[in-house]
Amino acid sequence: MLPASVQTELLQSLFSFLRVSLMILLIVTPIIALMELLRLYKLLDPLLNPLHRLFGWMRIRRESVVALFVGIIFGIAYGGGVLLEEKRSGALNRRDALLVGIFLSLSHALIEDTLIFVAIGANWVVILLARILFTVVILLALLFFIPLDTPTRS
Protein backbone atom coordinates (compact mmCIF):
# COMPACT_ATOMS: atom_id res chain seq x y z
CA MET A 1 0.00 0.00 0.00
CA LEU A 2 1.27 3.43 -0.92
CA PRO A 3 1.83 5.97 1.85
CA ALA A 4 -1.05 8.42 2.35
CA SER A 5 0.96 11.40 1.14
CA VAL A 6 1.74 9.64 -2.13
CA GLN A 7 -1.92 8.70 -2.56
CA THR A 8 -2.92 12.32 -2.02
CA GLU A 9 -0.43 13.52 -4.65
CA LEU A 10 -1.62 10.94 -7.15
CA LEU A 11 -5.27 11.81 -6.56
CA GLN A 12 -4.58 15.52 -6.80
CA SER A 13 -2.73 15.05 -10.09
CA LEU A 14 -5.50 12.84 -11.39
CA PHE A 15 -8.18 15.44 -10.60
CA SER A 16 -6.17 18.25 -12.18
CA PHE A 17 -5.50 16.04 -15.17
CA LEU A 18 -9.20 15.26 -15.62
CA ARG A 19 -10.15 18.94 -15.26
CA VAL A 20 -7.57 20.03 -17.85
CA SER A 21 -8.56 17.17 -20.16
CA LEU A 22 -12.21 18.24 -20.03
CA MET A 23 -11.25 21.86 -20.76
CA ILE A 24 -9.09 20.76 -23.69
CA LEU A 25 -11.91 18.61 -25.04
CA LEU A 26 -14.33 21.54 -24.81
CA ILE A 27 -11.91 24.08 -26.30
CA VAL A 28 -9.88 22.19 -28.89
CA THR A 29 -12.73 20.20 -30.49
CA PRO A 30 -14.76 23.19 -31.75
CA ILE A 31 -11.57 25.07 -32.74
CA ILE A 32 -10.36 22.21 -34.93
CA ALA A 33 -13.84 21.85 -36.39
CA LEU A 34 -13.92 25.57 -37.17
CA MET A 35 -10.48 25.48 -38.78
CA GLU A 36 -11.61 22.50 -40.88
CA LEU A 37 -14.60 24.52 -42.13
CA LEU A 38 -12.36 27.53 -42.85
CA ARG A 39 -10.10 25.30 -44.92
CA LEU A 40 -12.90 23.41 -46.68
CA TYR A 41 -14.89 26.49 -47.70
CA LYS A 42 -11.75 28.55 -48.38
CA LEU A 43 -13.16 31.21 -46.08
CA LEU A 44 -9.74 32.78 -45.69
CA ASP A 45 -9.46 33.77 -49.37
CA PRO A 46 -11.65 36.90 -49.13
CA LEU A 47 -9.49 37.99 -46.19
CA LEU A 48 -6.29 38.21 -48.20
CA ASN A 49 -6.68 41.81 -49.35
CA PRO A 50 -7.66 43.19 -45.94
CA LEU A 51 -4.85 41.13 -44.39
CA HIS A 52 -2.36 42.53 -46.86
CA ARG A 53 -3.36 46.00 -45.71
CA LEU A 54 -3.21 44.93 -42.06
CA PHE A 55 0.37 43.75 -42.52
CA GLY A 56 1.26 46.70 -44.75
CA TRP A 57 3.77 48.04 -42.20
CA MET A 58 5.88 44.92 -42.81
CA ARG A 59 6.17 45.77 -46.52
CA ILE A 60 5.35 42.14 -47.25
CA ARG A 61 4.07 41.16 -50.70
CA ARG A 62 0.49 40.04 -51.18
CA GLU A 63 1.55 36.53 -52.27
CA SER A 64 3.36 36.00 -48.99
CA VAL A 65 0.43 36.95 -46.80
CA VAL A 66 -1.00 33.43 -47.26
CA ALA A 67 2.04 31.82 -45.63
CA LEU A 68 2.05 34.38 -42.82
CA PHE A 69 -1.64 33.98 -42.09
CA VAL A 70 -1.63 30.18 -42.25
CA GLY A 71 1.21 30.19 -39.70
CA ILE A 72 -0.54 32.69 -37.46
CA ILE A 73 -3.74 30.63 -37.39
CA PHE A 74 -2.63 27.02 -37.78
CA GLY A 75 0.94 27.16 -36.48
CA ILE A 76 4.32 26.21 -37.88
CA ALA A 77 4.10 22.46 -37.31
CA TYR A 78 0.48 21.99 -38.49
CA GLY A 79 0.67 24.68 -41.17
CA GLY A 80 4.05 23.33 -42.25
CA GLY A 81 2.74 21.63 -45.38
CA VAL A 82 1.16 24.86 -46.63
CA LEU A 83 4.21 26.93 -45.65
CA LEU A 84 6.58 24.65 -47.58
CA GLU A 85 4.20 24.61 -50.56
CA GLU A 86 4.21 28.44 -50.61
CA LYS A 87 8.01 28.29 -50.75
CA ARG A 88 8.06 25.59 -53.45
CA SER A 89 5.61 27.46 -55.66
CA GLY A 90 7.80 30.55 -55.46
CA ALA A 91 5.15 32.65 -53.72
CA LEU A 92 7.51 33.29 -50.83
CA ASN A 93 10.69 35.17 -51.77
CA ARG A 94 13.81 35.51 -49.64
CA ARG A 95 12.92 38.75 -47.92
CA ASP A 96 9.37 37.67 -47.19
CA ALA A 97 10.58 34.29 -45.90
CA LEU A 98 12.71 36.21 -43.41
CA LEU A 99 9.81 38.46 -42.36
CA VAL A 100 7.40 35.53 -42.07
CA GLY A 101 10.12 33.58 -40.22
CA ILE A 102 10.61 36.35 -37.67
CA PHE A 103 6.90 36.90 -37.12
CA LEU A 104 6.07 33.21 -36.80
CA SER A 105 9.11 32.52 -34.60
CA LEU A 106 7.58 34.83 -32.00
CA SER A 107 3.84 34.39 -32.65
CA HIS A 108 2.07 31.50 -34.28
CA ALA A 109 -0.88 29.15 -33.78
CA LEU A 110 -2.50 32.05 -31.96
CA ILE A 111 -5.87 30.38 -31.46
CA GLU A 112 -5.33 26.78 -30.39
CA ASP A 113 -2.04 27.13 -28.52
CA THR A 114 -3.32 30.16 -26.63
CA LEU A 115 -6.52 28.38 -25.63
CA ILE A 116 -4.84 25.23 -24.33
CA PHE A 117 -2.92 27.42 -21.88
CA VAL A 118 -6.11 29.25 -20.95
CA ALA A 119 -7.41 25.75 -20.15
CA ILE A 120 -4.81 25.39 -17.40
CA GLY A 121 -5.38 28.88 -16.04
CA ALA A 122 -3.14 31.33 -17.91
CA ASN A 123 -4.24 34.95 -18.40
CA TRP A 124 -5.26 35.21 -22.07
CA VAL A 125 -4.67 38.96 -22.27
CA VAL A 126 -1.03 38.48 -21.35
CA ILE A 127 -0.28 35.32 -23.33
CA LEU A 128 -2.03 36.59 -26.47
CA LEU A 129 -1.95 40.38 -26.60
CA ALA A 130 1.44 40.87 -24.92
CA ARG A 131 2.92 38.24 -27.22
CA ILE A 132 1.56 39.94 -30.36
CA LEU A 133 2.69 43.37 -29.13
CA PHE A 134 6.14 42.01 -28.39
CA THR A 135 6.30 40.42 -31.85
CA VAL A 136 5.34 43.66 -33.60
CA VAL A 137 7.87 45.69 -31.59
CA ILE A 138 10.72 43.26 -32.31
CA LEU A 139 9.80 43.05 -35.99
CA LEU A 140 9.59 46.84 -36.32
CA ALA A 141 13.04 47.10 -34.76
CA LEU A 142 14.49 44.44 -37.07
CA LEU A 143 12.91 46.04 -40.15
CA PHE A 144 15.51 48.80 -39.84
CA PHE A 145 18.17 46.24 -40.74
CA ILE A 146 16.25 44.43 -43.48
CA PRO A 147 16.62 46.17 -46.83
CA LEU A 148 13.65 46.33 -49.17
CA ASP A 149 13.60 43.81 -52.00
CA THR A 150 16.85 43.35 -53.90
CA PRO A 151 17.04 45.32 -57.19
CA THR A 152 15.98 42.29 -59.31
CA ARG A 153 12.59 43.68 -60.25
CA SER A 154 10.17 41.09 -61.48
Partner 1 sequence: MAHSTPTFGPSLRVGLKKGLWASWGIIKVMFPVTLAVTLMKVTPLLGWLAELFRPVMGAFGLRGETALPFILGSVLNLYVAIGAMIPLGLTPKEITILATMLLISHNLFVETAVIKGIGAPWFPLLLLRLGAAFLMGFILSQVL
Q: How far is the CB of 68 from partner 1 (least distance, A)?
A: 11
Q: Tell me the closest approach of the beta carbon of residue 52 to partner 1, in angstroms.
A: 19
Q: How far is the CB of 51 from partner 1 (least distance, A)?
A: 18
> Which phi-psi region, left, alpha or beta, contains residue 86 (left: φ > 0; alpha: ψ -120 to 50)?
alpha
Euclidean distance between the first and the last CA atom of the chain, given in angstroms as a whole number: 75
Nearer to partner 1 among residue 34 and residue 54 (C-beta): 34
CB of 151 to partner 1, least distance (A): 19
Question: What is the DSSP code string of 61-93?
Answer: -HHHHHHHHHHHHH-TTTTHHHHHHHHHTT-S-
Binding site for partner 1 (CB under 8 A): 5-6, 9-10, 12-13, 16-17, 20-21, 24-25, 28-37, 40-41, 67, 76-77, 80, 83-84, 86-87, 92, 94, 97-98, 100-102, 104-107, 113-114, 116-117, 119-123, 126-127, 130-131, 134, 138
Contact, 96 vs 139, CB < 8 A?
Answer: no
Cβ atoms within 10 Å, residue 58: 21
